[in-house]
Chain A
Amino acid sequence: MGWLDRAASDTQVTHRQRLWLYALAALVLAFLVIPTLIVIPMSFSGSQYLEFPPREWSLRWYRNYLGSASWMQATATSFAAATLTTLLATPLGTLAAYGLFVSRLRAARAIHALMLMPIIVPVILVAIGVFYAYVKLKLVNSLAGIVLAHSMLATPLVIMIVTAALKSYDMNQEMVARSLGASRARAFVGITLPQIRFGVISAALLAFLTSFDEVILALFIAGGSNSTLTRNMFNALRDQIDPTIAAISTLMIVVTTLLLLLSQRYGNSRRG
């Protein structure tokens, strides 16, 4: 065990003296990871009672989930809302980020700050605010209402990511295109957009995830036949623990992982 007495840092502390730190860090990492992953094996359990490791394996909770009309409806709503949110928030946010970035007016900074409000204001306040507005606008429990509210949450994130992408882009290239006769729109689509595409793709994936995982707004504005997956899950968690949720949780983990892999593949400029 020679390595134990070797220096572990620049201040010559040995690995042996640091064992407690290693143990503590390992515990904290286990605390972070285990609860995230434990639902996956449990979703394949054959028992009504949650046990780990499961005594018998089966797909009964997946069958339960796939056979339930209300879970299927909620899944469809969640995917529809997330897709439409992505399609709405990504262009809105990208346009706003570009406009605010290049106009360089004093008002642009104020608008930029205002646009970040949905990130700052406590979600519950946003939720009852949206609910209040939707009662007046008759948008409660409608897919359009969910998409608009989720887009409101996602647009600021898109603006933040696209602005960061624009900051690392050389705007002179667009000037060159325009001095060669391209219009501003043509220069943006032909020169700028292809170069900030990684930021835009990351932003789009994040917009999808924002909508797909959103709970609190959905509790207030997504009822009836437009209930979302997260809203149904929340209500199920408050009543009793149904192992079907383990199967749905696994599905949600798969969706998140896929999106992260996609953003690693297509949203990372260093590798793209």
Chain B
Amino acid sequence: MNIELHAGGLRRDERRERLVLLGLSAPALLLVGVTMIAPVAWLFGLSFLSDTGEWSLEHYRRMIEQPSYGRTFVTTFKVSLLTTAICIGAGYPLAYLLSQLPRRAANLCMIAVLLPFWTSLLVRTYAWLVLLQRRGLINDWGMRLGWWDEPLALVHNLTGTLIGMVHIMLPFLVLPLLNAMRAIDADLLKAAANLGASPARAFRSVFLPLSLPGLAAGTLIVFILCLGFYVTPAVLGGGKVIMVSNHIANDIELFFNWGAASALGAVLLVLTMLLLWCATKLLRFEKLFGGAH
């Protein structure tokens, strides 16, 4: 038999086997395709149709014209930016200390970071409600200790939403940041000290710049996840904090306006994808979520 013919046959066999192997992913692909990709694509198309079924940009135009949509976007960005900023303020020092502590002490503290991470979102939202409400524990203690006389409005507003969201997002910042910080070569800091840098100077000129890629990745992922929040603003915001997700849900639940909800969803999706694309430029996708799930 001709050798080349034989090789061709083998190649065909191999190709067939690879296709069969690829076929193993078909059931999973079918599931995700039918329950998610097709419906979301359908909604995307729906956002470009008018109520009478013609192609139009009316849902997008309404988004610009109606002030309620503008307010929603402003709220969403404000809440997301504030949450991200507070997370950096609280998370960077924590991650820094954890990266410096001996491994055993750091692991013990990591339990504290991971515990809320794994606890149901609703459980934590409920806990904050209990702590922050008018007759809640914080107001109770604060007044008993004489720190303030009137119950503070800590929940069912922006404050409560921010507290709840920071609590949820903080681990998402600390984990990638800590990974980046642990990868920094300690000898560099010794060298800086050896060359006469004060501890503050060594931190500022050596440690901080080297930790920035990790910080940027953590910041982006926190910001992206914040944009899609629904439960926390719905419960701790008490109807006063309407973010994009809440607006979408309202459009469906109250007004059955699929077009408007789809258009808003399309904007949110495009925004998320753009930011995520920036994030993958900074860090590989799996790493971004690897610590998260």
Contacts and interface: CB of A to CB of B under 8 A. Distances in A.
Interface string B71-113: 0000000000000000000110110111010000000010011
A42 to B, nearest CB: 7
A238 B35 CA distance: 28
Contacts of A99: 21-25
B113 A105 contact: no
B69 interface: no
B170 interface: yes
Contacts of A80: none
B135 A28 contact: no
B124 A36 contact: yes
A241 B135 CA distance: 11
Interface in A10-58: 10-13, 17, 21-22, 24-25, 28-29, 31-33, 35-39, 42, 49-52
B28 A93 contact: yes
A33 B227 CA distance: 25
A115 B32 contact: yes
B129 A237 contact: yes
Given A29-B113, A124-B249, A11 B36 contact: no
Interface residues of B, number: 92
A171 interface: no
Interface stretch (A59-67, A68-76, A151-159, A192-200): A151-159
Interface string B141-178: 00000000000000000000000000100110000000
B57 interface: no
B118 interface: yes
A209 B117 CA distance: 12
Contacts of A107: 22
B114 to A, nearest CB: 9
Contact of A125 (B35, B40, B285): B40
Interface in A92-130: 92-93, 95-96, 98-100, 102-105, 107-108, 111, 114-130
B22 A50 contact: no
A249 B10 CA distance: 59
A177 interface: no
A160 interface: yes
A219 to B, nearest CB: 8
B130 interface: yes
Contact of A121 (B25, B40, B124, B186): B40
A212 B120 CA distance: 9
A76 B276 CA distance: 37
| A interface, size bucket | 35 or more
B286 A160 contact: yes
Contacts of B131: 35, 38
Interface string A252-266: 110010001000000
Contact of A117 (B36, B120, B186, B228): B36
Contacts of A169: none
A8 interface: yes
A253 B93 contact: no
A133 interface: yes
Interface string B120-143: 111111111111010111001000
Nearest to B171: A32
B126 A114 contact: no
Given A107-B22, A160-B286, A95 B27 contact: yes
Contacts of B55: none
Contacts of B235: 234, 237-238
A50 B113 CA distance: 26
Interface string B271-293: 01100100000000110011001
B81 to A, nearest CB: 17
Interface of B: 17-19, 21-25, 27-29, 31-32, 34-40, 42-43, 90-91, 93-94, 96-98, 100, 109, 112-113, 115-116, 118-131, 133, 135-137, 140, 167, 170-171, 186, 189-190, 192-193, 197-199, 202-203, 227-228, 230-231, 234-235, 244-245, 248-249, 252, 258, 261-262, 265, 268-269, 272-273, 276, 285-286, 289-290, 293
List the 9 closest A-B pairs by CB distance, nearest first: A99-B24, A129-B39, A122-B228, A96-B25, A13-B199, A96-B28, A103-B21, A124-B245, A35-B127
26 contacts: A10-B193, A11-B190, A22-B97, A28-B170, A31-B90, A32-B167, A33-B116, A35-B128, A38-B130, A39-B123, A96-B28, A99-B24, A104-B18, A105-B19, A111-B22, A118-B36, A120-B273, A123-B228, A124-B245, A124-B268, A126-B36, A127-B249, A209-B118, A230-B122, A245-B126, A249-B123
